[in-house]
Amino acid sequence: MPIQVVGLGMDSEALPELHAGIIDGAQVLVGGKRQLSLFEDHPASKVSITSPLESVFSEIAASEEAGRDVVVLADGDPLFYGIGARLVDEFGPDGVHFYPNVTSLQAAAALAKVPWQEVISVSLHGRDDYVPLYNALRGGSWVAVLTDDRNIPAAIAQRLLDRGAEWFSMWVFENLGSEEEYFDRYPLAKAATKSFSRLNLVLLERKGGPEAPLVMGTPDEAYEADKGLITKWPVRAAGLAALRLESDNVLWDLGAGSGSLGIEACALLPSGEVHAVERNGNRVGMIRENRKRFGALSLEVIHGTLPACLKDLPDPHRVFIGGGLGKDESLLDVVCPRLQDGGRLVIHCVLLGTLERCRHYLTKLGWVVDITMLQSSVTTPLAGDIRLEGLNPVFIIAAEKPGGV
């Protein structure tokens, strides 16, 4: 008999007759501590879901082999950020049968009177990675967040404030389905200072937007930049094209300057992330201001010296070097081994010596190297008309690391 997985919904005492009957007939009940406490008087053997899950699965398998009816208790819909997917992976789709119930998201959406098909959902339960939340917020009007004891509403609100995402308000739903149920909407600044019940769900509502849209080809003057030191927009566009970004890539933007290339890369990475590294403190402040201005929330700013500050970053799929290359190969000695197989490295340089040094280094590694010289011109006013003003030529070195799919 397949393992029966039952969603308890918001109120375990108001279960549908079918769900209640399956639980009543269980010989083995599997669930979290809180779920099992609701069935203390049930005569079935109890298996608590704790880490590592492999030991729990072993007990389930042993009970099945002994011919005992196993029922796994879950919150809401077991396939909505629940144990359902792991059970299917372990026992196969034919070995598991699901009985879903109302999820916390459905209950919260009903209270807020929001069509829940319009809500993007993100789980921070047991996770430290906020990138999926930042990416969801970029395009979503409503984003639900499953929390835990570390990623509490106040911590989430403060994270968003630190990135300048002041155009969201936060709904917090506490103790859903219980007599202590309570919900309200707060400005992020207020939510960041409040304490909430341990059992909660967060719903972020868009109330506006960043100062400027996050798009490719943004005019250079729209960025905060140090004395005009910025990768000009035609060169920026060519560099982004040379990177050949895929939607979930991790990009390192090294010697980021104003952060313009990394910020526009965020527009091409709906599931990815950018790590912008800059050693100049004044420019780091400008990158953060530009991140806020364009709502590039998935851009992580690292204030540090290359290559030492790279050791704690995730291995990249793509690397862009716009500055900080130096006069030797020490940066490339660190970057090239860390770049994932099949990944791409793009370097912008203006000096012929740097061009030859990089070409020689990468060719010696056996990487395929393409070089493009880009010399663009932009219009500028003159005598009531316009003329073309040439920008400095830039060499774009693009190399692909062997391997990958």
Per-residue pLDDT reduced to its tens digit, 377-403: 888 999 999 999 888 899 999 999 998
The interaxial angle of helices 84-91 and 53-65, nearest 10 deg, is 60
- pLDDT computed for residue 212 by the predictor: 96
Instruction: State yes or no: cis peptide before 52, omega within 30 of 0.
Output: yes
Retrieve residue 222's tokens. 């729209």
Classify burial at 34, counting beta carbons within 10 Å of its beta carbon; exposed 0-12, middle 13-18, buried 19 or more. exposed
Residue 307 has pLDDT above 70, yes or no: yes
Q: Is 322 helix (H, G, I), strand (E, B) or coil?
A: coil
**What does the chain come to in residues?**
405
Give the fold, CATH level 3, of 3-102.
Cobalt-precorrin-4 Transmethylase; domain 1 (3.40.1010)
CATH code for the part of the protein at 220-400 = 3.40.50.150
Domain with CATH 3.40.50.150 in the chain: 220-400
CATH 3.30.950.10 in the chain: give the residue spans: 105-206
* Strand-pair partners of 273: 250
pLDDT tens string 329-348: 999 999 999 999 999 999 99
The residue whose two tokens read 């029966």 is 4
CA dist list (Å): 261 to 264, 279, 344, 372: 5, 17, 15, 18
Q: Inform me whether the pLDDT recorded for 353 exceeds 80.
A: yes
142-183 residue pLDDT tens: 999 999 999 999 999 999 999 999 999 999 999 998 899 999
Query: pLDDT band at 369, cuts 50/70/90?
Result: very high
pLDDT digits (tens, 9 = 90+) for 80-122: 998 999 999 999 999 999 999 999 999 999 999 999 999 999 9
8 Å CB contact between 191 and 157: yes
CA distance 236 to 233: 5
Q: How far is CA 3 from CA 54, 89, 219, 235, 374, in A?
A: 16, 13, 59, 58, 62
- pLDDT exceeds 70 at position 404: no
Q: What is the second-level CATH architecture of the domain 105-206? A: 2-Layer Sandwich (3.30)
Predicted TM-score (pTM) of this structure: 0.90
Tell me which residue of 75, 78, 102 sits closest to 16, measured CA to CA: 102
The crossing angle, in degrees rounded to 10, of helices 352-364 and 330-338 is: 40
What residues does CATH 3.40.1010.10 cover in the chain? 3-102
Cα(133)–Cα(45) distance, integer angstroms: 39
